[in-house]
Amino acid sequence: MVNSTPTLDDLRNRLVDEIAAKHPLPARIEQAMRTVRRDLHLPGLDPADAYTNRAVTIKDNPNGPLALSCASVPSTVAMMLAQLDPQPGDHILEIGAGTGYNAALLAELVGPDGQITTIDIDPGVALHAREALNRTGYDHVRVMERDGLKGAPEHAPYTRMIATVGLWDVPATWWEQLADGGRLVLPLRWRGQTRSVALTRHGDTLVSDDMELCGFVPIIGQHGERTTGLANGTVRLHHDQDQPVGPDQLAEVFSTPLTELWSRARVGNEETFDGIWLRATASDDTVCRVEVTKQALENGVRRPAIPGRSPALVSDSSVAYLIAERDNTDLERPSRLGAAGYGPDAIALARDLVVHITDWSTDRAAVPGMTIHPAGAPDNALPKGHVVDKGDSRTVLFFTGTNA
């Protein structure tokens, strides 16, 4: 009788086949993922679960709902490695050691002439990564218990840097450690949404050439995002520290009449509309994220397009956010998109959001250009575009050929 039980190689190759079928991978990255054993970085987990395309928590957070550390979704790992484009001989710093799996992949990609340094602020996570790398034959990878915001200057400069934790800002210390012409990939958060951004350093400017939707556990030590609770805490606005959003002016906003405005844009069942959010951040400082809980929905608050994470516009004592409704008037794109508004300026804000929806709908694949500059860069040294100021950096977003 033939044993039909899949081997570990079978499981690993099936996972890589699944990822590559949806998003073709560079050959070297595909080969690395077929080589490195994810199951050995997740001891105690059923190998069949280790080779599924999902994140795995390795350390819970006693102070909140998000894990302190986890093994990222393999397809996201592959996507970010493709953005980083590691080459043989590269000297790479990874911020966020996790299970050590990503560092092992990096070690495969840079080869014997390269160097990998991975750091993590949590001693237990760093130890897990060290032991897993030793167990899998990557004992030459340097693992350090270190605050990721400080990097590892004693081993700089790095030709590439990658963060596997969410960042709200690019730390000033990282600028000093990335070689000119070097590449940085990080999950960067602004205006409530996160993108894996690929940047190349050109002197005092980081220039992006790729952005991909993602979600990561936030790094410890950055506090640029604020949360404002409304409707007895059942609705939460997640916004940046420079945005004038507060509970006082918005305290009664959800007791005001609802305004709904609909765009002509429609989406299919599997079609993403996160590009609306991204595009809006390139011109509008009122953009943030709304989170509407089940209790708020039961209390009559209008359901956002995605209750946990939908783009919203907030100004003074009014708010508008993205809504979606399936009406099946178009079988290919059965859902229409619109805006729900509350407060005295609900109509104006809803109209602004409909404009963002309409602009996105004309070119759904459009991605803004991005440059990042040190915090002290003067206005006249910045390219033309929309500026988002943070503690250590100034980000400029723009669409080529526009004044956005």
Q: Which pLDDT tens digit goes with each residue over 237-290?
A: 999 999 999 889 999 999 999 999 999 999 999 899 999 999 999 999 999 999
Q: 69, 72, 196, 318: which one is catalytic?
A: 72
Q: Is 315 marked active-site?
A: no
pLDDT higher than 50, residue 1: no
Packing angle, helices 27-35 and 74-84, rounded to 10: 140
Q: Three-state SS string across 237-306, please?
A: EEEECCCCCCHHHHCCHHHCCCEEEEEEEEECCCCCCCHHHHHHCCCCCCEEEEEECHHHHHCCCCCCCC
Helices (H) and strands (E) in the chain, counts: 11, 19
3-state secondary structure of 351: helix
Alpha carbons within 13 angstroms on the beta-carbon side of residue 277 total 24
pLDDT band at residue 57 using 50, 70 and 90 as cut-offs: confident
Task: Output 389-393 pairs: Cβ under 8 A, ≥24 positions apart.
Answer: 389/242, 390/168, 390/169, 390/190, 390/224, 390/240, 390/242, 391/169, 391/224, 392/169, 392/170, 392/171, 392/172, 393/169, 393/170, 393/172
Which runs of E-coded beta strand occur in 121-234? 142-145, 158-163, 178-190, 193-202, 205-213, 225-230
Alpha carbons within 13 angstroms on the beta-carbon side of residue 358 total 11
Q: Which pLDDT tens digit goes with each residue over 354-366?
A: 999 999 999 999 9
Q: Which pLDDT tens digit goes with each residue over 148-179?
A: 999 999 999 999 999 999 999 999 999 999 99
Task: Report which of 50, 103, 96, 99 is spatially closest to residue 81, judged by C-alpha positions.
Answer: 103
Q: Which pLDDT tens digit goes with each residue over 278-337?
A: 999 999 999 999 999 999 999 999 999 999 999 999 999 999 999 999 998 898 999 999
The stretch 97-115 carries a mean pLDDT of 97
Q: Report whether 157 contacts 174 (CB < 8 A).
A: no
Backbone angles phi, psi at 80, to 5 degrees: -70, -35
Rounded Cα–Cα distance for residues 23 and 43 (Å): 28
Rounded Cα–Cα distance for residues 239 and 190 (Å): 8
Rounded Cα–Cα distance for residues 303 and 321 (Å): 9
| Amino acid, single-letter form, for residue 216 | F
Q: Which pLDDT tens digit goes with each residue over 193-204?
A: 999 999 999 999
- Percent pLDDT > 70 in the chain is 95
Rounded Cα–Cα distance for residues 278 and 212 (Å): 10
Q: Report whether 84 contacts 185 (CB < 8 A).
A: yes
The β-bridge partners of 158 are 178
pLDDT at 404: 40
Rounded Cα–Cα distance for residues 160 and 181 (Å): 9
pLDDT at 4: 72
For residues 210 and 3, the model is more confident at 210
Backbone angles phi, psi at 298, to 5 degrees: -65, -25
